[in-house]
């Protein structure tokens, strides 16, 4: 079962707050729900909850500078309709949240185990692109990347083979995400994004999600028993008649 995108959303908050909410809608069951949270402070912790009561997990991402980044993920057995997700911070901060819903992922063990993952890189003042190199251990992964770019008004171009889902921002920074589905194990794959005007700094985080394992083959079918006549099968009746000469009526009696 190939991985597909089953909706995505982004929220950019121009004012500081201790809680943020985003709304998630899906069209399929058993989606893997990803929520990437970033804020320009490295002394912040965050928790997440939603109205549907999903069981959330977190995955830590490397950082450069004074940002906090967390990837939250959960599996939704049912379809979500305007599910309100609340992110709570330990202090009032400016922040952003990016959501991607994946169908066909390995929900029991989502992340490719390659030692290079998750990966992160940064670019400095005046940069117009940022990139990071990753490798995978599984074929048929979906490669996802989240990026943070200082300043506003940027126009973005996805890396080679990638598709941008969201890219926008607040009064001081912009964030976005992109993805690429691959069909083979990747070695030193460049994950990048570029923009038109110099940034006050930028970062990119890349990760890989595994495709769900194919379903097991169906069991072999049982042999079909021949139909029966009375208490004997048709085969038994036929075998009893093999080698016998049919009894004929004598017309002279």
The end-to-end CA distance of the chain, in Å, is: 77
**For 77-201, where are the E strands, in sequence order?**
83-103, 119-123, 129-134, 142-150, 156-158, 163-169, 173-181, 189-195
**Cα 84–chain centre separation:** 19
Phi, psi at residue 100, to the nearest 5°? Answer: -130, 135
Residue 236, domain member (yes or no): no
Number of domains in the chain: 1
Structural domain that includes position 145: 4-209
Q: In what order do the strands lie in the sheet with 129-134?
A: 129-134, 189-195, 156-158
**Residues pairing with 127 in the sheet:** none
Residue 150, domain member (yes or no): yes
Residue 123, domain member (yes or no): yes
Q: What is the pLDDT of residues 75-98, one digit of tens each?
A: 999 999 999 999 999 999 888 899
Q: What is the pLDDT of residues 20-56, one digit of tens each?
A: 899 999 999 999 999 999 988 888 899 999 999 999 9
32: exposed, middle or buried (Cβ count in 10 Å: 0-12, 13-18, 19+): buried
Residue 251, domain member (yes or no): no
**Residues pairing with 156 in the sheet:** 195
Residue 175, domain member (yes or no): yes
Residue 89, domain member (yes or no): yes
Residue 253, domain member (yes or no): no
pTM reported for the whole predicted model: 0.84
Contacts 24+ apart (CB under 8 A), 185-189: 185/135, 185/136, 185/137, 185/138, 185/139, 186/134, 186/135, 186/136, 186/141, 186/143, 187/135, 188/133, 188/134, 188/135, 189/133, 189/134, 189/135, 189/136, 189/143
Residue 234, domain member (yes or no): no
Q: What is the pLDDT of residues 157-177, one digit of tens each?
A: 999 999 999 988 766 888 999
């Amino acid at each position: 079962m190939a991985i597909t995108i089953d909706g995505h959303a982004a929220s950019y908050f121009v004012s500081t707050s201790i809680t943020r909410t985003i709304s998630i809608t899906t069209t399929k069951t058993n989606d893997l729900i990803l929520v990437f949270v970033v804020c320009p402070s490295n002394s912040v912790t965050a928790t997440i909850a939603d109205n549907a009561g999903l069981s959330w997990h977190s995955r830590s991402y490397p950082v450069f500078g004074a940002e906090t980044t967390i990837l939250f993920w959960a599996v939704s057995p049912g379809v979500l309709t305007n599910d309100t997700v609340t992110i709570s911070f330990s202090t009032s901060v400016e922040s952003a949240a990016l959501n991607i819903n994946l169908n066909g992922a390995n929900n029991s063990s989502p992340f490719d185990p390659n030692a290079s993952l998750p990966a992160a890189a940064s670019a400095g003042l005046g940069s117009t692109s940022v990139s990071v190199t990753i490798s995978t251990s599984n074929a048929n992964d979906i490669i996802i990347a989240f990026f943070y770019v200082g300043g506003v008004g940027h126009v973005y171009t996805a890396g080679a083979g990638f598709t941008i889902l969201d890219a926008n921002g607040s009064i001081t920074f912009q964030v976005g995400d992109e993805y690429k589905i691959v069909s083979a194990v990747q070695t030193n794959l460049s994950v990048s994004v570029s923009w038109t005007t110099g940034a006050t700094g930028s970062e990119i985080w890349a990760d890989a999600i595994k495709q769900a394992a194919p379903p097991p083959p169906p069991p072999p079918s049982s042999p079909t028993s021949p139909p029966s006549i009375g208490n004997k099968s048709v085969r038994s009746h036929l075998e009893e008649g093999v080698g016998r000469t049919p009894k004929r009526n004598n017309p002279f009696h």
